[in-house]
Amino acid sequence: MQALTFIDRRAETASAPHVTALDGNMSETGLTTGDFTQENEPFSLFGTWLKEAQDAEINDPNALALATVDADGLPDVRMVLLKDFDQRGFVFYTNFESQKGQEILGSMKAAMCFHWKTLRRQVRVRGPVEIVSNEEADEYYKTRARGSRIGAWASKQSRPLESRFALEKAVAEYTLKYAIGEIPRPDHWSGFRIKPTSIEFWKDGAFRLHDRIEFRRDEAEGDWNKVRMYP
């Protein structure tokens, strides 16, 4: 898995790539990727873009919009954080009893979109979903701050909350319960991996003549085909 380490760069905004306006459209300068259309597989390109986003974005370069659908086919979308990726797919963690957890478990499909405003780029991902192994979930859970691990027990995510006091009381109770030693991972808290069948890279172009390259495959372990798309 890729080791994702993200740094707060709010004090370094002066070093971000320069962006200039061109007749109401934005053109990018100072980027280092080169001609991304020459790439023949998506994961190494994504890794390059993510690293450049880490260097350029002020907050949460690993943030993404996660889209799911409910039992009636009505879509939901919310922001989550990417925690790992490799050739198998893109991993994030959540409470499986939450709305997004239940919707993913109901369909085992999802989509995500990364948008890096500073770089004028986005990446869209679609595909089936699998649950990460217990070993992967345990390893990541141990890296979380102690308060976040307590929160995974205390929060009945996506369900009605009678008062803020009720949440604070639950946090206090679990803090006392796990005052000494390791905090175990709840059975209802784990990770999902989107195993992409489509990954599209979008790069801003002058006068809205953007670059769009989509990598497609028929199944999650299949070979990739690359297609250039109209803007």
Handedness of CA 170, 176, 177, 183 (dihedral sign): positive
Distance from C-alpha of 4 to C-alpha of 152, rounded to nearest angstrom? 21
Alpha helices in the chain (DSSP H): 42-56, 99-107, 134-143, 146-154, 164-177
* C-beta separation of 119 from 128 below 8 A: no
Catalytic residue positions?
Answer: 208
Can you say whether the dihedral through the CA atoms of 44, 226, 228, 39 is positive or negative? positive
Q: How far is CA 214 from CA 27, 41, 65, 147, 219, in A?
A: 21, 10, 18, 40, 15
Question: Token pair of 188, please?
Answer: 């209802």
Contact present, 114 and 201 (Cβ < 8 Å): no
Helices 164-177 and 146-154 meet at what angle, rounded to 10?
120
Q: For residues 59 and 61, what is the distance between their CA atoms, to the nearest angstrom?
A: 6
